[in-house]
Structure 1
Amino acid sequence: MKSFIKSLPLALGLCLVGFLGGTVAHSLHTPLPYMLGSLFFVALGTAVFPRLLPENYRFPEVFRSVFIATIGATIGAKITWDVVQNLPQVALSMLALTAFVPLSQLMNFQIFHRIGGYDRPTAFYAGAPGGLVEAIVAGESAGADVQVLAVQQFLRIIAVITLLPVGMSLVYGHPVGSSAGMSLNRSAVGITHIPEVIGAALLGLVIFRRLHVPAAQLIGPLICAAVLTLSGLAVIEAPQWLISGCQIVIGTSLGTRFAGMNLRRLVKATWLSLLSVGAMIAVGLAMALAIHPLTGQALDVLLISFSPGGVTEMALVALSLNANPAVVTLHHLYRIILTVVMLGFVGRRDWLTTPRP
């Protein structure tokens, strides 16, 4: 507790830097501006001023977990009865997604291990097509190079949520996603239901951590909010400023992971990420083309559903195309849960703990 209180002032100061970055990114209409803007500004600040952070600095995990939990609750609230009723229609695409996750994991492992030269734990967890936070935590305990792992996971998110909306904007001739000013809230949301949001977030966080569920800070609040929403016991609606604030804190915490990384390693991580993301999108497009005639779902919506980017941004892209963002969110939640389960199962195998070359 004392260490948390001691580290909190610096964390809040970094969040101010992140807020500035998010504001600049929002004014430039970039995808997922508050998360990516804060991440970029904090990462840049620690690169330009390496003494800004103490040696081996870690952003307060307890502080960050609360904001991750809030995001989880807002995502879970999107699982409504309308989404549940759509399950039969998305059964085939969900089945294809079940094949997409392990195929992407295997493909990424080969890219990072064979081509990139990363050791097995780092290559395996860097190649996870989802579960950013859980992949980093699990990779750290498995002996992976946490800095490289974190950068590769961040670059996966950045590459997908930047390149896909930009590419689709060029195809459609107009912006899509958050760059088009879209929000998951179709109408203005006040502060009325903030207690329910925070309550669902904290309840899910505490219960699922005690149950030792993987990615408890995200999955727990998500399931809790979904249950409360489906049962009608609570209305989980977070105002946009709260969601943006959570993204700033999360982006800031991720930005601190870039501290001390040299330019050569960053360049290598970037081209490996582009190779990995390009391969995953190609596989996703192939699967979308294969099942499109059978499902009746729009090809672009299927492509969004198979793109391993951020849940929020992918839902915003779907919203821009007048598609149901909850259906797209359902696919991405399933991808994340499936990835986390796979990481927990495969990560226990002895082959993954071999020493680095």
Structure 2
Amino acid sequence: MNAWGASAASLVGLVVLGAVGSLSAVALGLPVPLLIGPAILTTLASLMGLPLQFPHHLRNFIFLLAGIAIGATVSPDSVAALVRWPLAFALLGVAVLLMVILGQRLMVVLMPTDRRSGLLAAAPGHLSYVIALGEDLGLATRGVAVVQSIRLLALTLLVPFAVALAGIETGIGLNNAPVIHEMTLLQTTLCIAAALALAPVLMRTPVPAPMLLAGMIIGAAVRLSGLVPGGLSHWIAFPVLAAIGTLIGTRFAGVTLAELRRSALAGLAGTTLAAALAVVAAWFAAGIVEMPMLHVLVAFSPGGLETMAVIGAAIGANPGFVAAAHVARLLFLSVLIPVLIRRTQEPLPASR
């Protein structure tokens, strides 16, 4: 089979896994089933050796659509929390610093690995950045990637279950916030076009997840301006959520069971440490921003920006706060990781 045929077969497989996983999770009554079901089923398929690969351009388009859906849930009332964010961000910064410093020591003991690899494995986010930096440093990044993937999957699964145990209804889609109406096809097309125009501008900046953020900015702008009455149609939002779930599962493609066993303990221990610190910081920050503690926890959780933003939208959290907190965490890591790398007495490679 040629490359095109293999890619097409992989895409068909992802569609089937996403559909079966979604329907199964809905039938079982799992929280955020359109995200959880595909994530679990695709992870299992990847570990079984199925050659699953999510097309890069499709991934970017999915993120853009998710951003529009999330941004369209922003209301004028949610913007009022802006004046309280600086103190919350300070708490988040302290939590991230502790996640990295304590997590590095944990990784060195449990993986075991050198201090630089341990630092990259402990980073609570910014997977593409830490992997690229590890490659430049000549480190063995496979273990780092597996540990980071375990963190992403664990938080994707645990946060919705924690929300469900707290008695908060999550529903199944991206439009669970108080959005009564849905965009027309023309409005949706215009939003997509505007987001596609904005995305290249954001790509020239150090802002992470530019496709998602471009969609969020456009979605929030048209909702706050009154140009559109609500969010994306469920016929679009639901498949987008399932696609994000399958994308998470494909991160385990090519990982052997032996590699998984070696890194599982370190990954779960690091995730537990980071999650505990996030809980403490969220508990203090909830009173500052005057939001439910679980809403702040989704914003402070060291999971993927796209995934946590989707979960935040599903539980009705302030989408602007969730996105801003995750962007702040990733930007902080962009500065913190090189500084800590230098403290290991190992020179950083020249920029490429």
In the superposition, the TM-score normalised over structure 1's length comes to 0.76
Distance 1:104 1:161, change over 3 A: same
Distance 1:150 1:341, change over 3 A: same
User: Which amino acid is the alignment partner of residue 177 of structure 1?
Assistant: T
- Deviation, 1:242, is 1.8
Distance 1:330 1:345, change over 3 A: same
Query: Counterparts in 2 of 1:153-302, with a 5 A limit?
Result: 153-167=148-162, 169-170=164-165, 172=166, 174=167, 176-178=169-171, 183-184=176-177, 186-187=179-180, 189=182, 191-192=184-185, 193-211=187-205, 213-232=207-226, 237-290=231-284, 297-302=291-296
| Greater mean alpha carbon deviation, residues 133-142 or residues 257-266 | 133-142
User: Which amino acid is the alignment partner of residue 29 of structure 1?
Assistant: G
User: Which amino acid is the alignment partner of residue 110 of structure 1?
Assistant: R
CA distance in 1, matches of 2:128, 2:31: 20
Query: Counterparts in 2 of 1:49-128, with a 5 A limit?
Result: 50=49, 52-53=50-51, 58-119=53-114, 122-128=117-123
- Deviation, 1:161, is 4.1
Tell me the alpha carbon deviations over residues 67-117 of structure 1, each in whole angstroms, 9 at most, x when there is no partner.
Answer: 112112222333433222222244432332232223323333332234322
Counterpart of 1:332 (choices 319, 322, 326) is 322
Percent of paired sites with the same residue: 24
- Deviation, 1:153, is 3.2
- Deviation, 1:66, is 0.8
Q: Is the 8 A contact 2:69 2:174 kept in 1?
A: no
Query: Counterparts in 2 of 1:136-151, with a 5 A limit?
Result: 145=140, 147-151=142-146
CA distance in 2, matches of 1:137, 1:77: 33
Query: Residue 334 of structure 2 corresponds to which residue in structure 1?
Result: 344
RMSD over aligned Cα atoms: 3.7
Distance 1:119 1:342, change over 3 A: farther
CA distance in 2, matches of 1:138, 1:215: 18
CA distance in 1, matches of 2:162, 2:63: 29
Query: Counterparts in 2 of 1:286-325, with a 5 A limit?
Result: 286-290=280-284, 297-309=291-303, 310-317=308-315, 319=316, 325=317
Distance 1:235 1:346, change over 3 A: farther
Distance 1:70 1:147, change over 3 A: farther
Q: Secondary structure at the match of 2:251?
A: helix
Query: Residue 322 of structure 1 corresponds to which residue in structure 2?
Result: none
Q: Secondary structure at the match of 1:249?
A: helix
Q: Secondary structure at the match of 1:155?
A: helix
CA distance in 2, matches of 1:102, 1:208: 26
- Deviation, 1:293, is 5.8
Distance 1:131 1:64, change over 3 A: same
Distance 1:224 1:297, change over 3 A: closer
Q: Secondary structure at the match of 2:152?
A: helix
Tell me the alpha carbon deviations over residues 143-171 of structure 1, each in whole angstroms, 9 at most, x when there is no partner.
Answer: 5655544443343233334334434544x
Q: Is the 8 A contact 1:29 1:179 kept in 2?
A: no
Q: Secondary structure at the match of 2:54?
A: coil
User: Which amino acid is the alignment partner of residue 327 of structure 2?
Assistant: I
Q: Secondary structure at the match of 1:177?
A: coil
User: Which amino acid is the alignment partner of residue 316 of structure 1?
Assistant: A
Gaps of 5+ in 1: 320-324
Q: Is the 8 A contact 2:182 2:231 kept in 1?
A: yes
User: Which amino acid is the alignment partner of residue 330 of structure 2?
Assistant: V
Q: Is the 8 A contact 2:34 2:173 kept in 1?
A: no
Q: Is the 8 A contact 1:178 1:313 kept in 2?
A: no
| Greater mean alpha carbon deviation, residues 178-187 or residues 209-218 | 178-187
Distance 1:34 1:294, change over 3 A: closer
What is the aligned length? 338
Q: Is the 8 A contact 1:39 1:252 kept in 2?
A: yes
Q: Secondary structure at the match of 1:259?
A: coil
In the superposition, the TM-score normalised over structure 2's length comes to 0.77
- Deviation, 1:65, is 1.0
Q: Is the 8 A contact 1:229 1:235 kept in 2?
A: yes
